[in-house]
Structures are given as C-alpha cells and as structure tokens.
Homo-oligomer: A and B are copies of this chain.
C-alpha cells in the first residue's frame, strides 16, 4: 500500500468515517449513489454501504433505500435548532405573535422541537387583560396539546415513535392516550394543515395550532393560540384559523432566513 501520505493522518475512528461520509453527501445532496460515495471517500463499497445505512438509521442522512440518492437527513437541523437560545427567535417572532394575540384576544405562543419533545419558546399574551399566559420552557404533550400535535405529526416515523414512547398521561376525560387514535389524529392534522386541542388538557380550555414549515419541508416549530373553549371554538373559529395560518406563513418566512443566519453564527471557536 502507498500509505506514506495517509500514514500521517490522525486516527481514523468510526465516528470520523461517519462524518466524512456525511460531509461528502452534504456536498452533493441528492445526486450520489452508493458507488459514488464509495469512490469519493476511498472506501470499499461494502464499508460505505454499511456506514450509510448507519447514517440513515440515525436520521443523519436520508434517501438510500432504493431511491439510491443520498442527502442530509433532518437530525442535523434538529440538533442545531435545539442549540438556539431563544433570544433571536424571540426577536423575529415577537411582532407576529403580538399581532396574532391582539387580533384574537387570546394567548399565543411559539413552540420548538427539542429532541423528541415540544417546548414553548416564545409566549405572548394579549394586551386587553389578564387572560392566560403560557410559560416559556414548559413542555407540551405530543398527544394532547395542539402545538405538540402540530409539530410531531410532521416528523419522521422514528421520531414519532420516540415521542409516543414517553408517558402519555390522561389529563382530562377528553384525553386520548391510545396510539391508534393519536396516529389518526396526526393524519387529520397533516390533512387539514392545523391541529386542535378541545378540552384535552384542561376541560374548559381549547387551542389551535399550525406547523411552521421550513423551505425544505422540515417542521421544527409550531405556532398556537389557546383560550376558553367557547371563545376559541365558537363563531370566530374561521377567523382565528385564518389569522393563525397567516401567522404561520409569516413566521416560516422569517425563520427560514433567521435560522440560516443563526446557524452560520452559532458555535464558538475557542
């Protein structure tokens, strides 16, 4: 072997190999087959195949099976988004949330996906009066909360399973904890484009929520509105829904630019 030059290269751990492959498919997203990856990485086809399968299973890469065109999976984005201290997010989302809260007179908030959990990132109560307020940082149950459903329903099967593996408490008589129903509910959410919560967390409270879709189709955030059941689900529901969907679109626009700038800037040199 001509191992003169490769000799000085540092230890080639399995982790390093995974990352090298990931960088290769990241450089040419969606246009590399197994043979290409193997050639570019100087690895035997067999080894490249095994490593790629590992990357796909970990959701770091996607494609592979039959489609034979690998690209970067959703997990990287999820990790980087989870790092965000919510300062910049707040600055971008606050105006939209404030307008939504003012228009509806209800509490509105933005949630984000952290691992397989859904946390409140930014919260905004309407000016009018103290009605309700959603504390930033609290966790939204994926099977009951509108914002929880609105995010989890759009995730990969692996992440959905992970989310549903957690304890799913029956909070009220309306709460459904059986997986079959929850999956049907997720299908309804995807079908309608928004999620609801009708007395499933608190008997008198309802909520509606919409996913915030990135340009690449990933859903890492959702925007929600909550209040007394009659006020949310009454005559004004169509109006609330229209405003919510409009807010979702506006946020998608801002966040898709803001997150990319944030990703460029995050991480510390030393």
Contact = CB atoms under 8 A, between A and B. Distances in A.
Interface of A: 5, 9-11, 13-16, 18-19, 22-24, 26-27, 29, 54-55, 57-58, 60, 62-63, 71-88, 90-91, 114-115, 117, 158, 165, 214-218, 220, 254-270
Contacts of A90: 265
A265 B269 contact: no
B79 A22 contact: yes
A9 B161 CA distance: 9
A256 to B, nearest CB: 6
B81 A267 contact: no
Contacts of A84: 260, 262
Contacts of A258: 88, 257-259, 261-266
Contacts of A74: 267, 269
A123 B14 CA distance: 38
A183 to B, nearest CB: 15
B262 A82 contact: no
A81 B264 contact: yes
A216 B265 contact: yes
B29 A83 contact: yes
Given A24-B115, A255-B261, A257-B261, A266 B80 contact: no
Contact of A262 (B55, B75, B87, B220): B87
A82 B265 CA distance: 14
Contacts of A254: 261
A82 B264 contact: no
B267 A71 contact: yes
A262 B88 contact: yes
A212 to B, nearest CB: 9
B218 A265 contact: yes
Contact of A79 (B16, B58, B76, B87): B76
